[in-house]
Amino acid sequence: MTRTPAQLAERIWAARQAGRTLDAEATIGTPDLATAYAIQRALLALRLAAGERVVGGKLGYTSEVMRRQMGIDRPNIGPLTDWMLLGSGDAVHERLVQPRVEPEIGLRLKSALDARQAPVERHTVAAAVEGAYACLEVVHSTWTGYRFNLEQNTADNASAGQVVIGPRLPVTDLMALDTVAVRLHDGRRTLGQGVGWRVPASLTSRWAWYRRTARLCISWAAMCGNAPSHRICW
């Protein structure tokens, strides 16, 4: 029996609420990307019905290295809600049963961007950004063992779990964010480090891509100006 995007979203939502994981192929099969975003929209509708509100968005798999590692051939996007926000020192929610942590750089907008009528260029994006922030993303997949393809990951809200938005970065030139050094440590030892995005395109070019794609794929694309978006170009 063919299930609707809403029915598939309910299965994902029930698993997340219960702290369970699912087999991606057995649960939703291999939908096309348009159907995957329809499932994601239906999943967001369940979050909103539960009292959550959209506060931003994530752009995933912008790194070519990460795409090769995960077998993904293009970036994707997903909404962030207020339930996903963590303060410094907060514990990850117990429903996230296979969490992973990634250091990120996020952008906070001071004015809205709308690509419904025309593409948004990177200089327009730069003018709309209030600042860049150090962030930690708590990645979580409903799919057991993180075994998924692009469409299955997209349906599952692009593996968005929770996020900590940290201090503002002392960067005045957004075009220089590629050179920002990132070091992840647990208070005792360094767990990993790197520089910037390790991708050829600039941060604002990635954000412009995000706005164009959001215009085509999902209805929550037009965000308010104070919405934090933590994973724009990693």
pLDDT at 150: 93
Is the Cβ–Cβ distance between 135 and 103 less than 8 Å? yes
pTM assigned to the model: 0.82
**Helix extents (H) in 74-165:** 122-128, 150-155
pLDDT at 208: 54
pLDDT at 5: 97
**Would you call 120 helix, strand, or coil by DSSP?**
coil
pLDDT at 125: 78
pLDDT tens, residue by residue, 57-89? 888 887 777 778 877 788 898 999 999 999 988
CA distances from 137 to 30, 86, 163, 190, 214 (A): 26, 10, 4, 17, 21
Task: For residues 144 and 163, give the distance between their C-alpha atoms in angstroms, rounded to a whole number.
Answer: 21
Task: For residues 204 and 224, give the distance between their C-alpha atoms in angstroms, rounded to a whole number.
Answer: 18
Task: For residues 86 and 39, give the distance between their C-alpha atoms in angstroms, rounded to a whole number.
Answer: 25
H/E segment holding residue 16 = helix 5-18
pLDDT at 205: 52
pLDDT at 91: 93
What secondary structure letter does DSSP report for 153? H
Is the Cβ–Cβ distance between 150 and 31 less than 8 Å? no
Mean pLDDT of each 10-residue bin along the chain, 234 residues long? 92 97 97 96 96 89 77 86 92 95 85 74 80 90 95 95 91 76 82 64 51 42 37 35
**Would you call 219 helix, strand, or coil by DSSP?**
coil
